[in-house]
Amino acid sequence: MYEFPVVHIGGIGFDLSSIIAITVSFVITLVLALFAVRNLSVDNPSKLQNFMEWVVEFVHNTIASTMPLEKAKRYISLGMTLIMFIFISNLLGLPFGIVTEVSESHHGPVTVAGLEIASADEVEKAHEDGKHLAYAWWKSPTADLSVTAGLASIVFVLVHYLGLTQNTRHYLKHYFKPYPIFFPINILETLTKPLTLALRLFANIFAGEVLISTILLLGVFGIPLLGIWQGFSIFVGAIQAFLFTILTMVYISQATVHEEGH
Amino acid sequence: MDLLGAALAIGLGAIGAGVGNGLIVSKTVEGIARQPELRGALQTTMFIGVGIVEVVPIIGVVLGFLIFFAS
């Protein structure tokens, strides 16, 4: 199994492969969005403009299925950002991987630009056991719990801020519905929502990538299986991106929509 | 023992995911058979349901991998 190049600065570990992957994913999403809105035309839309209009309509319908139509417009950009970024991030780790190995003759710590990835003791220990220390430099950014937890934290802050500012009385009252004795259960529900959002996305994409490295151990005979698995992973990536977006919208609508029934 | 724990985590999670997903999809197929015009909405709800049901078994799979590769 591959290690990830983690650099410790000031006591916090920075995973270099995640940082590279997030940057690439962000650049691809930005370029895609910028190119789609160049030379907009009503009579003669380009294929990219057509595709992006379909995405906008899809996201709008998704949001409209959770909250009343006049509120749905405000969240289209949030929905589009989430679904495009997460889908492109999920696809990133599938086509190829970049792995570097520490050679047998290397003694002393493994460093990148002067910052240490593996200490000298770990290198010596790996060489004694006869194993190669291999570092993976490319993966899906969402295969890292820190990235998905970051996305889930954004959603968490957004949901509670919107609930507090737009719908204050009902948002605060819903913690005590249906009976005040449900308060600890409601608090637990509030805490587990972002937790499951982060863990769902991370576990799906991480499990897919681990299985890719396992299939690669088969060598040449694993190629058809790898093709099938990569196809399935594209499907899973799309489903998880859609699920993250629609659950975000459901949580926002639960916090902000003034329900008439109570 | 570690490997047995990892195998149990993944296997029991697979049973849960299989039974749960089977129930969801079978009810969806039944609903589509009764009212074919609701196919789009029922399919969307089915995917959301599958995503929610599969969270805990997939977390079990990731824990199984972590145990397996750490041992």
Q: Please, which contacts does A75-83 make with residues 24 or more away whose CB atoms are closer than 8 Å?
A: A75/A249, A75/A252, A78/A158, A78/A248, A79/A245, A79/A248, A79/A249, A80/A55, A80/A56, A81/A29, A82/A151, A82/A241, A82/A244, A82/A245, A82/A248, A83/A55, A83/A59, A83/A241, A83/A242, A83/A244, A83/A245
Decide if pLDDT at A86 tops 60: yes
Query: In this structure, are residues A134 and A3 in contact, taking their beta carbons and an 8 Å threshold?
Result: yes
Residue B32 pLDDT class (50, 70, 90 cuts) = very high
CB < 8 Å to A239, chain B: 47, 50-51
Decide if pLDDT at A129 tops 80: no
Tokens 């996201």 locate to A59
Which of A200, A206, A207 is facing B51, going by the closest CB pair?
A: A200
Contact (CB<8Å) B61/A196: no
Which of B47, B62, B69 is facing A239, going by the closest CB pair?
A: B47
Which of A65, A199, A239 is facing B59, going by the closest CB pair?
A: A199
B48 CA: distance to closest CA in chain A (Å): 6
Average pLDDT on A51-77 reads 90
Residue A1, pLDDT score: 66
Contacts of A60 (CB under 8 A, 6+ apart): A72, A73, A76
Out of A115-124, A213-222, B51-60, the most confident range is B51-60
Minimal-distance CA residue of chain B relative to A197: B55
**Residues above pLDDT 90, as percent of chain A:** 49
Between positions 207 and 236 of A, the ones with CB within 8 A of B are 207, 210
Contact (CB<8Å) B69/A242: no
Average pLDDT on A28-44 reads 88
Query: In this structure, are residues A48 and A235 in contact, taking their beta carbons and an 8 Å threshold?
Result: no
User: What are the C-alpha distances in Å from A100 to residues A104, A112, A251, B5?
Assistant: 13, 12, 42, 32
Decide if pLDDT at A147 tops 70: yes
